[in-house]
């Protein structure tokens, strides 16, 4: 699998509903309007990965005013979890791309961010923090791309997850489509859903063989063991300690104005990588 293979297709009873992407090993994110053709009162869906594997999912949280939905999924050990991109804060003039396309006959989308994230009123009636995108591919109607990820495309070392595509800006002067798109930021997603707190993220990102470990809460003790001999629970303790330290720095206004969530994600991603390296392939 490549670093672009974290997007998924969401279906119900064999009927395709729309696109989404993995935020953790057990959560997929999508635009809520992608689920509007789902059977009323039925939360069960199917999640299909790039490689063709399909696993069951359940619509777990909805935010109608933000047009966002979280799907709870369980990836069995027999299915390889695609690499997950770390989230980051978008900025004006960042180059972006979308690794998803509705079918092989659709274009891959890319372009640049024309404005820094700002508050926008969306069709669903709510206000979200979103980035305004200029798309280099004038394909007309971009509806099939809703719910898919927007990631920074360059430079390679900063290729991170920036947001989720929600809607297309209509041309108010003439009845034609525009190449202006709006994507909610990942920060907006974190604000809307409390399931992306540090504890939930840790258990959601760890491989199945490691989630049985009891998380060790932050302590003030120094870690004496060398990196090569430290156990998984020691590493989890270190991760929680660092996350707690970030929270304290934010509360003390030492990091005033800086969102610490991307730093937390980076800590957890490194922890997951270390634990997976120790445990070996499933």
Q: How many residues does the chain have?
A: 282
Diameter of the chain measured on Cα atoms: 68
pLDDT value at position 275?
56
pLDDT value at position 6?
94
Which domains, ranges and CATH numbers included, belong to the chain? 7-73 (2.40.10.10), 95-190 (2.40.10.10), 197-279 (no CATH)
Q: What is the 3-state secondary structure (H, E, C) of 33-88?
A: HHHCCCCCCCCEEEEECCCCCEEEEEEEEEEHHHCEEEEEECCCCCCCCCCCCCEC
- Name the band, by pLDDT with cuts 50, 70 and 90, for residue 169: confident
Q: What is the pTM of this model?
A: 0.71
pLDDT value at position 150?
97
Q: How many helices (H) and strands (E) does the chain have?
A: 4, 12
Burial class (CB in 10 A: 0-12, 13-18, 19+), 61: middle
Q: Is the pLDDT of residue 62 over 50?
A: yes
- Name the band, by pLDDT with cuts 50, 70 and 90, for residue 74: confident
Q: What is the mean pLDDT of residues 178-185?
A: 92
Per-residue pLDDT tens for 90-146?
Answer: 999 999 999 999 999 999 999 999 999 999 998 878 999 999 999 999 988 888 999
Q: Is the pLDDT of residue 210 over 50?
A: no
Q: Which residue has the higher pLDDT, 59 or 278?
A: 59
Q: Is the pLDDT of residue 65 over 70?
A: yes
Q: How many CB atoms lie within 10 A of CB 110?
A: 17
Q: Which residues contact 103 (CB under 8 A, 6 or more apart)?
A: 144
The segment with the largest mean pLDDT, out of 67-71, 85-89, 237-241, 274-278, is: 67-71
């Amino acid at each position: 699998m490549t670093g672009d293979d974290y997007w998924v297709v969401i279906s119900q009873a064999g009927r395709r509903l729309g696109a989404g992407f993995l935020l953790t090993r057990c959560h997929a994110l999508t635009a809520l309007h992608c689920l509007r053709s789902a059977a009323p009162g039925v939360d069960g869906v199917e999640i299909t990965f790039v490689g063709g594997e399909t696993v069951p999912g359940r619509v777990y949280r909805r935010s109608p005013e933000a047009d966002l939905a979280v799907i709870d999924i369980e990836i069995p050990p027999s299915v390889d979890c695609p690499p997950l991109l770390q989230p980051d804060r978008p900025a004006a003039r960042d180059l972006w791309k979308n690794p998803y396309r509705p079918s092989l006959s659709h274009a891959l989308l890319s372009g640049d961010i024309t404005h820094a994230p700002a508050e926008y009123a969306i069709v669903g009636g709510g206000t979200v923090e979103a980035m305004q995108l200029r798309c280099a591919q004038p394909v007309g109607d971009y509806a099939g791309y809703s719910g898919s990820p927007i990631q920074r495309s360059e430079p390679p070392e900063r290729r991170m997850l920036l947001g989720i595509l929600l809607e297309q800006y209509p041309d108010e002067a003439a009845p034609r489509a525009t190449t202006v798109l709006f994507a909610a930021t990942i920060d907006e997603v974190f604000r809307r859903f409390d399931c992306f707190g540090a504890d939930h993220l840790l258990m959601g990102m760890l491989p199945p063989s490691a989630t049985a470990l009891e998380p060790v809460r932050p302590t003030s003790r120094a870690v004496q063991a060398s990196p090569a001999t430290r156990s998984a629970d020691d590493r989890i303790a270190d991760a929680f300690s660092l996350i707690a330290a970030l929270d304290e720095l934010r509360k003390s206004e030492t990091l005033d104005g800086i969102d610490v969530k991307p730093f937390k994600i980076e800590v957890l991603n490194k922890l997951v990588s270390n634990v997976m390296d120790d445990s070996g392939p499933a």
